[in-house]
Chain A
Amino acid sequence: MTERILSCSEALAEALAEEMGRDETIFILGEDIKAHDGIFGQFKGLHKQFPEKVIDSPISETCIIGAGVGAALTGMRPLVDMHFADFFTTAMDEIVNQTAKIRYMFGGQAKIPLVIWAPDGGGLSAAAHHSQSLESWFIHTPGLKVVVPSEPADVKGLIKTAIRDDDPVIFFQHKKLFAQTGPVPKEEYCIPLGKGDIKRQGTDITLVTYSRMTYLSLEAADQLANDGIEVEVIDLRTLKPFDFDLIAESVKKTFHALIVHEACLTSGFGAEIAARIGEELFDYLDAPVVRVGAKDVPIPFSPVLENFVLPQTDDIIKGIKRVLNR
């Protein structure tokens, strides 16, 4: 397999170009997606290659999402750009009451092949309205699939699957990872939804994470390897559906589990994973499951405050040591 080094934004643009070339029902709708190629450069070159299919929208998030729904219901396969995940609040009816429910409440008559693409996450001093990790809202809404990739190869393989999927998918990409590079296969490939990936093998503890926290978790694992602690890092990649089998397989081997996410701790997805581990793997646990997440406040602006609120590598190391009682 031939590989190149691409960034997460390049991986996205490449995947979209391939898909749009393959299927003329795909189009992209969002704000500032022509002049800036998307505010993170994530749609680079697409409007030149597909001028009719890359559509700049007025600042009307409610109608951007709703238009995605209406177009998906009538034969198109849209990707709508939420600009910042924080702006989901302005379109919640369209996501929660329409996108998620239309197929079900109409008895399966309709399909909604819609991707709602949203950059999320903090660490950029972007403050409370541009830094949130809101995945739990959508996992908690039956009818939506939720994808949270970390590395470029996963971005590419998962966005292609999301686009081809006939169900609505919320596709998050962490803002701090757009420039993150990694090897991406040159050959055509898709990654199925609901399959996690072991980013580092280990025997002492299972660390379940996703999105940017994958990288911080790998740093923590590197540091602890010096102390003889071998951490298995699972990047879930998809949260709805999520790969509990992979977690179970690992916990049955390590007898310890830590969950790490950037979203605030209370009612974060870590709570769901911890509950499932407790319900289904209790007999395999040598210690209580521990979660690491952001502190329960809005994301503050000043770096000193933001760094305190968001999980850092040291917090993850502390979490691992707490589980292992070291």
Chain B
Amino acid sequence: MKITKEETLALYKKMLTVRAFEEKAGELFAKNLIPGFIHLSIGEEASSVGTCSVLNKDDYVASTHRGHGHLIAKGADPKKMFAELFGRITGYCKGKGGSMHIADFSIGILGANGVVGGGFPIIIGAGLSIKLRKTDQVGIVFFGDGAANRGTFHEAVNMAAIWKLPVVFVCENNLYASTTPADYSLAGGSIAGRAAAYGIPGYNANGNDILEVREIVGKAVKRARDGKGPSIVENKTYRYRGHFEGDPQKYRTQKEIEGFKDKSDPIQLFKTILKKEGTLSDQADKNLREEVYSMIEEAVRYAQKAPLPKPEEALEDLFINP
């Protein structure tokens, strides 16, 4: 896929934004400043940013419990996201959702989801709606390797295939479903490989290489937009943090984590490419990081100063016509 220098830098900046957001969220959580629990996507930025970079504003995204990256990548406002994490009234969901339930319908984000595999049926509905309304939109559902074992996955892929829905199933295979390794729980060993059973394309991508993710998801999105039906893309990636913040991570070694950080960090890999082609100097990188990290600090300041909801506002927003 063709890409200009400006676009490449914008992608790089977006990846830095996701990482900065997640690092800051982890830091605030560790200080007990964020209630509940959070799932961070550090290490998976090429998948979220690469995928959303080939989408239009009115395309739909069904996200997951590990959804901060998808939101930022699709264009959500980190201020309103942090405000939600802090349970403030100015948050995306007025403090009713929290980390696992952020949505922004104005940019097609149909919501993160607290139920693993909960996004599949919803994106089928979005796909059907697109088809019935005869628009050129596309729906993306992000999911992990664990969700590929839910019945919803199989029902949804089958439905999308028989109706040729404009949907792309984007798996972020980070090797672990919570604590359970994919090589233990995944029959056949390949999520992309399952596409063959439904007669649709299945693609493997190096999920840490943003240009490859863009290329492959872009192909699947074009196919969907052209009315040729759904595809499965399996972005092979890795999460650096636990399943949730505070996860003791007895299921893997520190050595394994460090290995991924050293050899296949998505931001580092992209930076190397950008430096090599002369798009990004060390100084420009430093400036960009400063800009991004200070923007995130500003978002946190905004969120911490934002008002809390009134307790009785818990009774609002259930029905449109009570």
Contact = CB atoms under 8 A, between A and B. Distances in A.
Interface stretch (B21-29, B121-129, B277-285, B295-303): B121-129
B132 A76 contact: yes
Given A97-B114, A111-B320, A241-B322, A53 B132 contact: yes
A185 interface: no
Contacts of B263: none
Given A63-B124, A106-B93, A97 B118 contact: yes
Contacts of A166: 320-321
A93 B118 contact: yes
Given A53-B132, A70-B124, A106-B101, A63 B93 contact: no
Interface stretch (B8-16, B37-45, B71-79, B153-161): B153-161
Given A109-B103, A110-B103, A74 B317 contact: no
Nearest to B158: A58
Interface string B136-175: 0001000000000001100110110010000000000000
A170 to B, nearest CB: 14
A158 to B, nearest CB: 14
Contact of A57 (B111, B159, B319): B159
B96 A72 contact: no
B318 A106 contact: no
A98 B118 contact: yes
A289 to B, nearest CB: 27
Contacts of B101: 105-106
Contact of B105 (A78, A110, A145): A110
Nearest to A90: B151
Interface string B169-195: 000000000000000000000000000
Contacts of B118: 93, 97-98
Contacts of A71: 125-126, 128-129, 132
Contacts of A73: 105, 110, 122, 125-126
Contacts of A105: 93, 96-97, 101
B51 to A, nearest CB: 19
Contacts of B318: 103-104, 142-143
A185 to B, nearest CB: 24
Contacts of A111: 320
B82 interface: no
B130 interface: yes
Contacts of B125: 66-74, 76, 78
Contacts of B321: 165-167
A104 B151 contact: no
B238 interface: no
B316 interface: yes
Secondary structure dominating the interface of B: mixed
A181 interface: no
A50 to B, nearest CB: 11
Nearest to A101: B101
B120 A66 contact: yes
Contacts of A60: 155, 158-159
Contacts of B68: none
B3 interface: no
Contacts of A110: 103, 105, 110-111
B129 A106 contact: no
Interface in B251-295: none
Contact of A70 (B96, B126, B317, B319): B126
Contacts of B115: 93, 97-98
Given A70-B122, A110-B105, A58 B322 contact: no
B97 A67 contact: no
Nearest to B94: A107
A62 B155 CA distance: 8
Contacts of B322: 241
27 contacts: A57-B159, A58-B155, A58-B159, A60-B159, A62-B152, A66-B122, A67-B159, A70-B121, A70-B126, A70-B128, A71-B128, A72-B125, A73-B125, A73-B126, A93-B115, A93-B118, A102-B103, A102-B111, A105-B93, A105-B96, A106-B97, A106-B101, A107-B91, A107-B97, A110-B105, A145-B319, A166-B320
List of 9 A-B pairs having minimum Cβ-Cβ separation, nearest first: A66-B121, A70-B125, A108-B317, A107-B93, A107-B94, A67-B125, A71-B125, A60-B155, A70-B122
Interface of B: 60, 62, 91-97, 101-105, 110-111, 113-115, 118, 120-130, 132-133, 139, 151-152, 155-156, 158-159, 162, 316-322
Interface of A: 27, 29, 52-53, 55, 57-58, 60, 62-63, 65-76, 78, 93-94, 97-98, 102-111, 142-143, 145, 165-167, 241
Given A52-B132, A62-B152, A70-B62, 7 more contacts: A70-B127, A73-B122, A73-B125, A76-B133, A97-B118, A104-B318, A109-B105
